[in-house]
């Protein structure tokens, strides 16, 4: 289904351009309100946001748009994306709205939506909203205008939810943890979750000023966490992104663990507890070493397209619980309806406590295959799928790699480049194959 404004994860862009303007947000709120009122005469929506300075402007515009359509609004202020999903479900509301551009810099922003059950909404719903944007607005009369109020205890409610996803017996006493909230939406809740479970918490990336979200800190800049671990001699570090749905972890030696490795740990912990793990869902980018290690344990890995939305769709279709991306978007659907960096970190720390092992030991035997990624800028109007030289080079590379590697070629969804990726046990061989295919792609 063709959409003008919605991408793979809501609407996102540079503030002041395209759809990320106050006038568009007013229209969007009104259009969404009209769609909601087809099922509910008097809907109520929850609006949360991250710490970007533009959030105030967009929040006000959305609020006015909803009110003009006769929709009531609850405002949480800064709250992680998964916190909005949880509260929408817990409070039996009709829709959850998040104002955030996740891991992007502060001058971007975006909007994403959650259903009354805390799930991301289907394509059909987004198409209906875009169709409503083309219709002249139908303002309700003054008596029917929506009302707005603040939900003052949103952070506390979400903290309690996060703690409820692990057994009451779990204690983090004796563990020093650095929590990096990327100066984002979790700055005032993430440290408290781990502190209330007994950990000695060191805070970094917890001083937002509206402009510094994701700036040199957080899941996309983990070196700050590595340095803090060494400085404070901490046991573990937890890095979130701007809206706290992404996780990276670091151990006492400064070793960074990505989403693929953390997904493996979560699966192994469930197996150790005699719980069935029929399979997990990764993406086209999930490291082959994790797939091999899971197979040794009798766990199947299924690959979805890149994007947590597609991982979620595959999990739902199969009735499985565990999935994720290398970037740290992890899903544990027996704990939450959407990806949650704090909840995922608790699952990992729980596994560490149960096993009595550190993360490095839990991943013994899982040596990630080296990956070589080369971006090739495409000529205007060219179709890489018709490039016979590239097809021949890919065939030869796959024959040479055999079972010890794989090739992935895909067009970028955000820029006119072709991404050529080779993953192999032998990193030198992988790089040579990738360079040969990249040269063939450029020549075509």
Contact (Cβ atoms closer than 8 angstroms) between residue 133 and residue 39? no
86-117 b/e with 16+ CB inside 10 Å = b? bbbbeeebbbbbbbbbbbbebebbbbbbbbbe
The fold of the 11-152 domain, in CATH, is Alpha-D-Glucose-1,6-Bisphosphate; Chain A, domain 3 (3.40.120)
Fold of 371-443: TATA-Binding Protein (3.30.310)
Residue 192 carries which DSSP code? H
Q: For residue 378, name the pLDDT band (cuts at 50, 70, 90).
A: confident
DSSP H helices in 321-387: 341-355, 359-362
Give the model confidence (pLDDT) of 57-101 as tens digits.
Answer: 999 999 999 999 999 999 999 999 999 999 999 999 999 999 999
Name the residues annotated as catalytic: 102
Task: Tell me the whole-structure pTM to 2 decimals.
Answer: 0.92
Query: 7: pLDDT confidence band, cut at 50, 70 and 90?
Result: confident
- pLDDT tens for each residue of 197-236: 999 999 999 999 999 999 999 999 999 999 999 999 999 9
Phi, psi (rounded to 5 degrees) for 313: -60, -40
pLDDT in tens, 121-151: 988 999 999 999 999 999 999 999 999 999 9
Q: In what order do the strands lie in the sheet with 176-180?
A: 200-204, 176-180, 236-240, 247-251, 256-257
| Residue range(s) of every CATH 3.40.120.10 domain in the chain | 11-152, 157-254, 257-362
Mean pLDDT of 234-250: 97
What is d(CA 187, CA 342) in angstroms, rounded to the nearest whole number?
Answer: 12
CA distances from 102 to 299, 329, 355 (A): 31, 11, 33
The CATH number of domain 157-254, selected from 3.40.120.10, 3.40.50.720, 3.40.630.30, 3.40.190.10: 3.40.120.10
Q: What is the pLDDT of residue 413?
A: 65
Contact 47, 97 (CB under 8 A): yes
Q: Which is it for the CA torsion 262, 267, 272, 275, positive or negative?
A: positive
Reduced to 3 states (helix: H, G, I; strand: E, B; else coil), residue 374 is strand
Lowest mean pLDDT of 203-207, 250-254, 306-310, name the range: 306-310
Contact status, residue 159 vs residue 192, Cβ threshold 8 Å? yes
For residue 297, which of 321, 312, 275 has the smallest C-alpha distance? 275
Question: 257-362: which CATH number, 2.170.190.11, 1.20.140.10, 3.40.120.10, 3.40.30.10?
Answer: 3.40.120.10
SS3 330: strand
Token readout for 98 is: 């998040």
For the chain, the average pLDDT equals 95
Percent of the chain with pLDDT over 90: 91
pLDDT of 1: 57
For residues 113, 114, 115, 119, the Cα torsion angle rounded to the nearest 10 degrees is: 140
Note whether 58 and 22 are within 8 A (CB): yes
Tokens of 133: 């944007």
Residue 164 predicted with pLDDT over 70: yes
Looking up tokens 């993406």 gives 283
**Is the C-alpha dihedral spanning 148, 153, 156, 162 positive or negative?**
negative
pLDDT value for 414? 61
What average pLDDT does this structure show over 406-428? 88
Q: Is 424 left (phi over 0), alpha (psi -120 to 50) or beta?
A: beta
CATH 3.30.310.50: which residues of the chain?
Answer: 371-443
Give the pLDDT of residue 36: 98
Q: Which residues pair with 49 in a beta bridge?
A: 78, 99
3-class secondary-structure state, position 232: helix
Q: What pLDDT is stored for residue 308 in this prediction?
A: 86
Across the strands, what pairs with 42? Answer: none
Structure tokens at 17: 């351009």
Q: Is the pLDDT of residue 383 over 90?
A: no
């Amino acid at each position: 289904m063709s959409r003008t404004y919605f991408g793979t994860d809501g609407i996102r862009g540079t503030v002041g351009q395209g759809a990320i303007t106050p006038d568009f947000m007013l229209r969007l709120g009104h259009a969404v309100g009209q769609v909601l009122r087809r099922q509910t005469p008097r809907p109520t929506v929850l609006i949360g946001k991250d710490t970007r300075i533009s959030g105030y402007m967009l929040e006000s515009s959305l609020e006015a748009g909803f009110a003009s359509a006769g929709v009531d609004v609850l405002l949480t202020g800064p709250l992680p994306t998964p916190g909005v999903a949880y509260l929408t479900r817990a409070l039996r509301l009709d829709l959850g709205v998040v104002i955030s551009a996740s891991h992007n810099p502060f001058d971007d922003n975006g909007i994403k939506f959650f259903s009354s059950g805390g799930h991301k909404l289907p394509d059909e719903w987004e198409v209906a909203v875009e169709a409503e944007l083309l219709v002249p607005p139908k303002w309700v009369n003054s008596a029917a205008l929506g009302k707005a109020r603040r939900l003052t205890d949103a952070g506390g409610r979400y903290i309690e939810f996060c703690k409820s996803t692990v057994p009451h017996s779990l204690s983090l006493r004796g563990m020093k943890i650095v929590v990096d909230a990327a100066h984002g939406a979790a700055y005032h809740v993430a440290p408290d979750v781990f502190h209330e479970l007994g950990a000695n918490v060191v805070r970094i990336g917890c001083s937002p000023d509206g402009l510094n979200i994701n700036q040199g800190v957080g899941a996309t800049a983990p070196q700050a966490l590595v340095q803090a671990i060494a400085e404070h001699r901490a046991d573990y570090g937890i890095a979130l992104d701007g809206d706290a749905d992404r996780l990276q972890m670091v151990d006492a030696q400064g070793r960074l663990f990505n989403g693929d490795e953390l997904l493996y740990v979560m699966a192994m912990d469930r197996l150790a507890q005699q719980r069935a793990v029929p399979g997990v869902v990764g993406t086209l980018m999930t490291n082959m070493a994790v797939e091999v290690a899971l197979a040794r344990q009798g766990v199947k890995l299924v690959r979805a397209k890149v994007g947590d939305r597609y991982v979620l769709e595959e999990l739902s279709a199969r009735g499985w619980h565990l999935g994720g991306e290398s970037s740290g978007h992890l899903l544990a659907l027996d704990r939450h309806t959407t990806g949650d960096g704090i909840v995922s970190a608790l699952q990992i720390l729980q596994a560490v406590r149960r096993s009595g092992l550190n993360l490095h030991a839990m991943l013994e035997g899982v040596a990630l295959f080296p990956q070589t990624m080369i971006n090739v800028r495409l000529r205007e109007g060219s179709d890489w799928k018709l490039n016979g030289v590239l097809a021949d080079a890919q065939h030869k590379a796959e024959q040479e790699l055999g079972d010890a590697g794989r090739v992935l070629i895909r067009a970028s969804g955000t820029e006119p480049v072709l991404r050529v990726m080779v993953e192999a046990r032998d990193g030198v061989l992988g790089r040579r194959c990738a360079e040969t295919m990249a040269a063939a792609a450029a020549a075509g």
